[in-house]
């Protein structure tokens, strides 16, 4: 029996081809792989993940060593769509708390970000998509009862695009930073709904023009 042990060799996980390691990381990912932060209101917009997910590392394998942690976080954050619901004032607070729990390695890997906007009167909604692969910001499923609402979303899109355009690239890949994502939160936060004291539901843009 001792001879068998003598002939056996240690096999390191990092000795596997990178492509195979990435498949293992994908297999270990939490399901579903759509992460949502913010409100529970839907406003008729296509559903996103409503289950709470851990704001820390996605799986225990990332605790083994620095190299594996980087690969695991990159695989998770680069392949997971992140949705931030900015429907009322507490949503941006939730987003900021979530961001405070993340590290730069994780945030730099994010590729797909969606800001979901909806007013308290259920008359306005839109999805603002930030695609860091194409460095593009676009609007999906917009519905505006008032022209000012559409104008505000247009302003937010321009501000988000300016932030994306200011990001640096490493090896041809756009790198997001915590500071840049925080500024995106500030820009998208211009859209969340407010309630007038008289009880008439309005949106923030109506108070700006």
Distance from C-alpha of 144 to C-alpha of 130, rounded to nearest angstrom = 20
Phi-psi region of 199 (alpha: psi -120 to 50; beta: other; left: phi over 0): left
Q: How far apart are CA 141 and CA 67, in angstroms?
A: 40
- Tokens 């289950």 map to which residue? 51
CA geometry: angle 194, 198, 203, nearest 5 deg: 25
Residues (pLDDT < 50) of the chain are 40-56, 147, 193-209
Strands (E), 2-98: 35-37, 82-86
What pLDDT was estimated at residue 145? 60
Domains of the chain: which residue ranges? 12-39+46-207
Q: What is the pLDDT of residue 33?
A: 57
pLDDT at 131: 96
Is pTM beyond 0.85 here?
no
Output the six-digit token pair for 143: 């519905």
């Amino acid at each position: 029996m001792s001879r068998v042990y003598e002939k056996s060799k240690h096999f390191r996980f990092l000795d596997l081809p990178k492509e195979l390691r990435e498949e293992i990381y994908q297999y270990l990912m939490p399901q579903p792989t759509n992460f949502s932060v913010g409100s529970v209101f839907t406003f008729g917009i296509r559903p996103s993940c409503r289950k709470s997910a851990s704001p820390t590392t996605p799986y225990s394998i990332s605790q083994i060593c620095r190299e594996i942690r980087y690969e695991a976080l990159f695989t998770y954050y680069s392949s997971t769509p992140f949705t931030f619901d900015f429907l009322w004032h507490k949503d941006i607070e939730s987003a900021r708390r979530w961001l405070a729990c993340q590290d730069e390695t994780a945030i730099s890997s994010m590729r797909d970000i969606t800001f979901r906007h909806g007013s308290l009167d259920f008359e306005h909604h839109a999805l603002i998509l930030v695609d860091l692969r194409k460095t593009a910001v676009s609007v999906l499923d917009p519905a505006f009862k008032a022209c000012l609402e559409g104008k505000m979303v247009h302003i937010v899109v321009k501000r988000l695009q300016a932030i994306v355009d200011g990001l640096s690239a490493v090896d041809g890949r756009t790198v997001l930073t915590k500071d840049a994502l925080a500024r995106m939160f500030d820009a998208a936060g211009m859209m969340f709904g407010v309630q007038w004291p008289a009880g008439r539901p309005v949106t923030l843009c109506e108070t700006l023009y």
